[in-house]
Amino acid sequence: MAVLDILEFPDPRLRTVAKPVESVDDDLRALIDNMIETMYEASGIGLAATQVNVHKRLLVLDISENRDQPMVFINPEVTVLDDTLGSYDEGCLSVPGFYEEVNRPRKVRVEALGRDGESFSQELDGLAAICLQHEIDHLDGKLFVDYISPLKRNRIRSKLEKAHRLRA
C-alpha cells in the first residue's frame, strides 16, 4: 500500500466532477486500500478519490473511535431521509487547518457498491451522514468552503496559497 498525495485548496483539480466507476477490479481495490491508508496517515475520517487526483466516484470513511472500521462507497447515491439540518464544524484534508460550521441533513440513505462490487443500501445519521455528504461534495467538485461567506473563503484561500509558496 502507499500513501497518496492529497490535493489542497485552491487547486483547480478539486473542482473536477468525478465520473462513475465502470468496473470494480484489482486496480480499483488497490486504490481503495491506498486511499484508506492515506486517510489514516492524514488523521482524516473521510477521503474522496477526487482529493487524490483520481476523478472516479469513490470515497472512503471511518468514523470509528479505534479507526478500524473503514467503509467504502463506489458510485454513491444519496437520498435525504430527514430535512432536519445538523450543524457541524467541518474540516477537510484538502483545506488543512481550517474548520467552519456547515449545515447538512442529519439523516440520509446511501445506495452504492462496496469494495468488492456488491450493491448495498444503508441509512446513516449524525457524523456518518455529514461526512458522507461532505465527501460526495468532493466527487461533485465542491468543497466545504463553498458553504461559507466569500470573505471567509478568500481569507482561507490566501492563507493556503501563502503556505504553498513557503513550502515550494
Residue 101 falls in the annotated catalytic set: no
Using CA atoms, how far apart are residues 15 and 140, in angstroms rounded to an integer? 8
Joined together, the cell numbers standing for residue 100 give 467552519
From residue 64, give the alpha-carbon distance in Å to each of 22, 40, 72, 85.
29, 12, 14, 22
Q: What single letter denotes the amino acid at residue 70?
A: P
Q: What single letter denotes the amino acid at residue 118?
A: E
Joined together, the cell numbers standing for residue 63 give 468514523
Reduced to 3 states (helix: H, G, I; strand: E, B; else coil), residue 65 is coil
Using CA atoms, how far apart are residues 168 and 159, in angstroms rounded to an integer? 14
Q: Is residue 55 a known part of a binding site? A: no
Which residue is catalytic, options 41, 100, 135, 161?
135
Q: Is residue 164 a known part of a binding site? A: no
The catalytic site residues sit at: 135
Residue numbers belonging to the annotated binding site: 92, 134, 138
Residue numbers belonging to the annotated binding site for Fe cation: 92, 134, 138
